[in-house]
Structure 1
Amino acid sequence: MRKIAATAGLAGVLLLATGTAAVDAATRAATTGGRTGPTAESVDRYVRDYIRRTDLPGAVVTVVKGDKVVYAAGHGHTAGGEAITADTPMPLASLSKSFTALAVLRLADEGRIDLDAPVGRYLPEFTMADPRAEKITVRQLLQQTSGMSDRTFPELTLPAPDDLKDAVAMLRTAPLAAAPGTRMIYHNPNYAVAARLAEVVSGTPFAEFMAATVFTPLGMTSTRTVDTTEELPGAGAGYIRAYGQVIERAHPKWFVNGSYGVVSTAHDLARWLITQNGHGGALPRELVRATQTPSGVGGSTYGMGWSAERTAGGAPMLRHTGWLLTHNSAQTLLPGGEWGIAVVTNTGMISGDDALIISDGLVDMIEGRPDANAAPFTTSADPWLAGLSLLNLGLGLTGVLRSRRWAARRAQRRTWRMIARLVPYALPVAFYLGLAELAGVLLNRVGTLDQLTYVWLALYVWAATGALAAVAVVAARLVHAVRLRRRAVGNVPVSETRRSASTA
């Protein structure tokens, strides 16, 4: 269809022929093993059992097949104590990227932008502290191949802007981590820039533009997009998991529009998934397929708000996950059988990856595998970390109580030798102080220690108790060492001091 169909490329067409609407009845049967798939009753039973086993506070779950809604329901309650139903608005987090991409592609389909033109042609205010940024194209923003990165612009550690214009302005001091078009690097500001571009080209606020081009045509009357987490339902408050408990937490202010600011319901997500399956006719099918087509840049399987993956059974799967500190989400398409799944839960990143686990369980049901009774891995890891944290405190207390004896044994040694014995205690402190950086490497996101208390509280406590114990032992030993040396200078016999310490 005009420009979008042409730019999808031959590789994309071949991939989609095996993984989207262009599948025959034999492929559909293979995807489900000849079965009809889960029913509303079986999905409801699975979700309720998962909630019971894991004490999940709340969730919305949607399952569609083709153009039919198999299941759309809410469970549990919000952090504010309200019952969650199929009409309860929930933050979609990074699932929002697929919405933004589709809205931008509509501008391209209308001939108002060229996906392969530099962003600066349409958005002169977009500048960076790197001359290579002038070559970033609209397509590269949507495919996350612009070269921008958390490493060069750690957005989550910076004060949150209030609107898209300010979010783009903040990039003026940021360099690139790679040349545009050479690597796929997941970075939320790519989509903030894309949203601001749509806002400027359309001449309307992005929220209104999204409503006019995506939400309203699909009948998603309860769906909207917001600028910051303060505008999310309940200001984004939700829960984290720690030591087998769910703990309510408020969400700090983050800027989310364009990248992860969409709020929707189970019923509206059903309409969205049906459209992604190629049904409904509200949006051109070629545009939908273009967002699902991997870029292939550097072997990337990321398209525009979707990633091409495989199920445990080997079938083609399109997926995108999303995380806030207090919510997580997942949307999944199984093109071979035209299944679509969307799950949003009010538990936080890593500590409660419930949405992805529930989605995988539903995929297992579709492909005929038994329920794995999976749960967030922190529920089994936290007891071990709790034990290690108590061990840290116990060792620290023992070290403090024995510090006088330790200092007495070294009272006549050279100062540098005594200090050398204390150097290893810097390791737990360094580990604690560098924990956010280490987590950033593993998660490919740069954050803060405070944010880590949401992501994995038990890990944070373990590192913190280790650092606390180390500091306490070093401080106690130094205090006693200084006191003993002062006494020695005052002609107090060291042997007498040692005898006193040995009887203490």
Structure 2
Amino acid sequence: MPTLHGAVLAVALSVLPAPVPPPAAVAPGADVTPAAVDRVVEEYRAAVAVPGVAVAVTRGEEILHVAGYGHSPDGAPVTPHSTMATASLSKSFTALAVLQLVEDGRLGLDDPLRTHLPDAGSDDPRWARITLRQLLDQTSGLTDATLPQFSRPQPDDLAGSVASFRGRAPEHDPGSTWEYYNPNVQIAARIVEVVSGQPFATRLDTHVFGPLGMTDSRTIATADELPPSAWGHLRVLGRAVALPEPPAFGTGSGGVLSSAHDLAGWLLAQSGHRPAVVSPASITAMHTPSPASGGYGLGWDTGTTPGGQRSVSHGGDIFTSTAHQAVLPDAGIGVAVLANTGAAHGDAHEIARRIIALADRTPSPPPADPGAGIDAALAAVSAGAVALAAAGIRRAPTWAARRSSRWGFAFRVIPLLAPVGLLGAMAPVVRTLFRGRDVTWLQAAYLFPAFTVALAVIAAAATALFVRRVQCWSTRAGRAAP
């Protein structure tokens, strides 16, 4: 016979809701779907002027999504097969080409570079201690203080890039300091040529692009060789402006052109799912930083996402295009983004960050162009300068009549030339801001397009006022002479 306590308990249980089973665990990266990726890209493009974007996303052993959005500067639609600039993503291709030769036993990562390039550099003994690994992880000690990478006469080929270092000394002891420097990887690419006996572009075609089915991909030497599909833009006042890429040499360090379709296969190879081109041990070596490099491996940067997942990634910036690639081992997700807007805007990096946030299951703020407000303010300042200069030009005769002293006149007009001086000194100013990183004047203008336009307008207005005041004062002084 049931007890009273048992009867009460049975009644109570009968009216309680059934227990809810715990939610099923969400698989890592489950929120990364083709529809979600499309939404991220289209929302970003609706808010920010990015004419063309290509995206590749992989999950596990499969290609989850490849897509093109918008158009190139010549009006052609961006498709999954559009060949676009990968910029510094090229460094990871060079690293893989080196690792292939390591696996073949034809060189070692810790070989001194002079084992393969005996005439490289100068008599400085530090050149003999630079290794191939240090070239790839950017700890060679070579910097822009050794040889300015952009303002030097640009080489025609990798042999010329290496020859540029004759008589130059490393700034730091090899292996002691990390500093990102494109010619490091150009020297490594030259070693690939020397050891393999093939031009670097041929080596990539036959040993990387071909085996991975990357039929849209190739490597170029200079910006002059960019095809129309890889042309890009700057953004000024919220509008994309198509401009040619400034001249620069980039074989090995920034010359790979690819597509969303091809980068999907590349991501799978870097995730260990297409090991035919290189062994898993070599992939691990590429993704492992040295003690002196911080988080930088061999053509890849290591770290964690905002959500705490392990990440292996690399960005790519030229002055009219950007690119980003990332592999998230915990989520099994790979992401590559190509955008035809330049380094000043970082759009490929921001779009990739938002796709990675899907894998992190972390929110992203509404997309916005942070430069639009700054550009508008600069436009207002330059318009104000033009108005003030116009008023000053109208009043110049009266102004000159009040200036009796030659020194007082000079003191008042010479400052009007300051904007011209600043415009001419943009490159060294930017080098100072970037802690010595080399840029040419044209590259500095591309990095700060709205500021450059505003400064040019202000300089022109101030120069016109200077000329008018000098004319009026000279006329007045001539009349006043006995």
Q: TM-score range by the shorter chain?
A: 0.7 to 0.9
State the shift of 1:375 in Å. Answer: 3.5
Match of residue 140 from structure 1: 134
Q: Which residues in structure 2 correspond to 1:62-461 (within 5 Å)? A: 62-128=56-122, 130-234=124-228, 236-282=230-276, 283-297=278-292, 300-350=294-344, 352-411=345-404, 413=405, 415-443=406-434, 445-461=437-453
TM-score (norm. length: structure 1): 0.84
Q: Contact between 1:353 and 1:376, CA under 8 Å: does it hold in 2?
A: no
Match of residue 470 from structure 1: 462
Change in CA separation of 1:422 and 1:165 when aligned onto 2, cut-off 3 Å: same
State the shift of 1:39 in Å. Answer: 0.7
Q: Secondary structure at the match of 2:284?
A: helix
Match of residue 19 from structure 2: none
Match of residue 18 from structure 2: none
Change in CA separation of 1:311 and 1:443 when aligned onto 2, cut-off 3 Å: farther
Give the fraction of aligned pairs with identical amino acids, expressed as a percent: 39
Letter in 2 for 1:397: A
TM-score (norm. length: structure 2): 0.87
- The Cα offsets for residues 121-159 of structure 1, whole Å up to 9 and x where unpaired, read as 101242247553333211111111122223442232244
State the shift of 1:197 in Å. Answer: 0.6
Instruction: Name the CA distance, whole Å, in 1 between partners of 2:291 and 2:393.
Output: 57
State the shift of 1:468 in Å. Answer: 2.5
Instruction: Name the CA distance, whole Å, in 1 between partners of 2:289 and 2:398.
Output: 65
Q: Which has the larger radius of gyration?
A: 2
Q: Secondary structure at the match of 2:32?
A: coil
Match of residue 10 from structure 2: none
State the shift of 1:99 in Å. Answer: 0.7
State the shift of 1:41 in Å. Answer: 1.3
Q: Secondary structure at the match of 1:156?
A: coil
Change in CA separation of 1:442 and 1:315 when aligned onto 2, cut-off 3 Å: farther
87-96 or 110-119: which moved more? 110-119
Match of residue 499 from structure 1: none
Q: Secondary structure at the match of 2:50?
A: coil
Q: Contact between 2:82 and 2:229, CA under 8 Å: does it hold in 1?
A: no
State the shift of 1:236 in Å. Answer: 4.5
State the shift of 1:235 in Å. Answer: 8.3
Q: Secondary structure at the match of 1:85?
A: coil
Q: Secondary structure at the match of 1:308?
A: strand
- The structure with the greater share of residues assigned to helix is 1
- The Cα offsets for residues 86-117 of structure 1, whole Å up to 9 and x where unpaired, read as 12222211000011011112222332222223
Q: Cα RMSD over matched residues?
A: 2.4
Letter in 2 for 1:487: R
1:483 aligns with 2:475: yes
Structure 1: give runs of 5+ residues left out of the alignment: 1-28, 491-504
Letter in 1 for 2:211: P
Instruction: Name the CA distance, whole Å, in 1 between partners of 2:474 and 2:308.
Output: 67
Change in CA separation of 1:421 and 1:100 when aligned onto 2, cut-off 3 Å: same
Q: Contact between 1:436 and 1:448, CA under 8 Å: does it hold in 2?
A: yes
Instruction: Name the CA distance, whole Å, in 1 between partners of 2:338 and 2:411.
Output: 52
